[in-house]
């Protein structure tokens, strides 16, 4: 079942005062913006505006995928607790809004999560844009802040992860767009000018409600408690070296499918000994490509386990770039390379996979394997892009973070996945077993 993330916010400049809301629907696997909504609603309170933002976000999610499950993230403790059924809804203005929110999307497929204000910048910006537009007597309309367009317009230079001018400027542009402050730098959820939160303090909301059991017939449903059971832990092993690895050539799932080199076989044996010493691996799952299966089989022979192949763990298909160096791609396909460096949606020349497509594939494999191996420790033998993608998604980091991670051949990383959807990155790019 597809999952969507809804982030919503609302605010009033006066409480009550000129008010507006903003909401955004996101793809949780890629961070891609799927829909935006914002509106100036005249004179209202913060809480009314926040509820209206929630309703707009849920309706947008329903339009996109009526059969999805939705994770709502808001920085309003009041709305989150009331819609989760943990606080009574006492204010007469809030009851019909909560009921409308419960009807906007099937309540049994919605769960609510409080997030700090600094993590709700997108919806906050939209709410501020709506209030600014209302102050000018206009309706809100979306502005073109596509990070891909901004980054693609810059002259890139250097491969992904290279700190040279072009790639660095592209990543800087992507980051600056994502972090752009709202017009006027006002907080959508509070009165007056935004103030930074005090470290160590709890989020504060207007005392319009107190924690109490939900009353009979309340609009909200109960959210699940935090999961405290043993997680599914994925130990992520990048395959050992091949000839193409040492020559720094694009080597994906659409090329020659090379075997491990002699150095790669030594690396696989070293990681097998290290994992045997730890004694925690219970299952092994591998990409179907030869270099991963050879690495996995070396470990499996040492641990006495079988290897299961999962197509979702294969490397990106690099299309016509397979087997080429970055410099060769720059020479032969400069425009396609520029687009690829600038946007996660751009695919390599010749029908390869974009990072967005890989993220969706890897996220589906993650969900499938985490459900099948709850409470167990599983070795996933895969490639650079899938492993970095799993780490990126666990951190909630944007696609451009793929360019900011180092992942060596035969390195180990680890991510734990809990049943409530939370994840914890526990290790990244450990190569200590190769230096013994």
Instruction: Report the 10 Å Cβ neighbour count for 365.
Output: 21
Query: What value, to the nearest 5°, has the Cα angle with vertex 369 and ends 366 and 372?
Result: 145
> What are the tokens at 432?
């200590």
Residue with tokens 């793929």: 402
Contact in structure between 281 and 333 (CB atoms under 8 Å): no
Contact in structure between 283 and 305 (CB atoms under 8 Å): yes
Residue with tokens 């092994």: 284
CA 427 to chain centre: 18
Residue 315 known to be catalytic: yes
From the list 239, 283, 373, 433, the catalytic residue is 239
Q: CA-CA distance, 231 to 431, in Å (whole number)?
A: 24
From the list 7, 241, 315, 353, the catalytic residue is 315
Q: Label each residue of 163-175 as H, E or C.
A: CCHHHHHHHHHHH
Contact in structure between 257 and 290 (CB atoms under 8 Å): yes
According to DSSP, the residues that pair with 309 across neighbouring strands are: 286
According to DSSP, the residues that pair with 382 across neighbouring strands are: 238
Q: CA-CA distance, 253 to 273, in Å (whole number)?
A: 28
Q: CA-CA distance, 73 to 54, in Å (whole number)?
A: 9
Q: CA-CA distance, 31 to 27, in Å (whole number)?
A: 5
Q: CA-CA distance, 37 to 53, in Å (whole number)?
A: 8
Cα dihedral angle (212, 216, 219, 223), rounded to 10 degrees? 50
Residues serving a catalytic function are 239, 315
């Amino acid at each position: 079942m597809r999952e969507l993330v809804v982030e919503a916010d609302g605010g009033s400049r006066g409480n009550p005062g000129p008010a507006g809301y903003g909401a955004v629907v996101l793809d949780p696997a890629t961070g891609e913006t799927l829909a935006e909504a914002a509106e100036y609603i005249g004179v209202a309170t913060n809480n009314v505006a926040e509820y209206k933002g929630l309703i707009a976000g849920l309706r947008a999610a329903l339009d996109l995928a009526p059969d999805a499950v939705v994770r709502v993230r808001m920085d309003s403790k009041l709305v989150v607790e009331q819609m989760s059924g943990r606080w009574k809804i006492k204010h007469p203005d809030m009851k019909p809004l909560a009921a409308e929110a419960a009807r906007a999307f099937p309540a049994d497929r919605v769960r609510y999560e409080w997030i700090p204000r600094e993590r709700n910048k997108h919806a906050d910006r939209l709410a501020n844009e709506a209030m600014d537009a209302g102050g000018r007597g206009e309706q809100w309309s979306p502005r073109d802040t596509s990070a891909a367009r901004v980054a693609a317009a810059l002259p890139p230079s250097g491969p992904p992860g290279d700190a040279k001018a072009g790639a660095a400027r592209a990543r800087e542009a992507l980051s600056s767009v994502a972090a752009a402050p709202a017009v006027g730098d006002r907080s959508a959820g509070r009165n007056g000018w935004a103030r930074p939160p005090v470290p160590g303090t709890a989020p504060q909301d207007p005392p319009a409600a107190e924690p109490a059991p939900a009353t009979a017939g309340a609009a909200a449903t109960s959210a699940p408690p935090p999961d405290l059971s043993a997680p599914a832990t994925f130990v992520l092993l990048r395959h050992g070296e091949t000839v193409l690895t040492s020559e720094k050539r694009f080597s994906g799932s659409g090329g020659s499918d090379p075997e491990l080199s002699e150095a790669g076989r030594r690396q696989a044996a070293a990681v097998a000994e290290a994992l045997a010493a730890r004694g925690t691996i219970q299952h092994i799952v591998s990409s179907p490509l030869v270099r991963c299966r050879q690495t996995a089989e070396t470990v499996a022979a040492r641990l006495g386990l079988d290897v299961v192949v999962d197509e979702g763990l294969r490397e990106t298909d690099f299309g016509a770039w397979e087997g080429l160096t970055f410099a060769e791609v720059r020479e032969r396909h400069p425009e396609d390379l520029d687009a690829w460096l600038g946007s996660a949606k751009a695919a390599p020349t010749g029908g390869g996979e974009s990072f967005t497509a890989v993220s969706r594939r890897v996220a589906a494999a993650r969900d499938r394997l985490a459900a099948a191996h709850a409470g167990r420790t599983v070795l996933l033998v895969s490639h650079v892009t899938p492993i970095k993608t799993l780490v990126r998604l666990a951190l909630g980091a944007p696609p451009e973070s793929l360019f900011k991670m180092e992942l060596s051949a035969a390195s180990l990383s680890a991510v734990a996945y809990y049943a409530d959807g939370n994840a914890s990155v526990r290790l990244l790019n450990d190569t200590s077993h190769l230096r013994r």
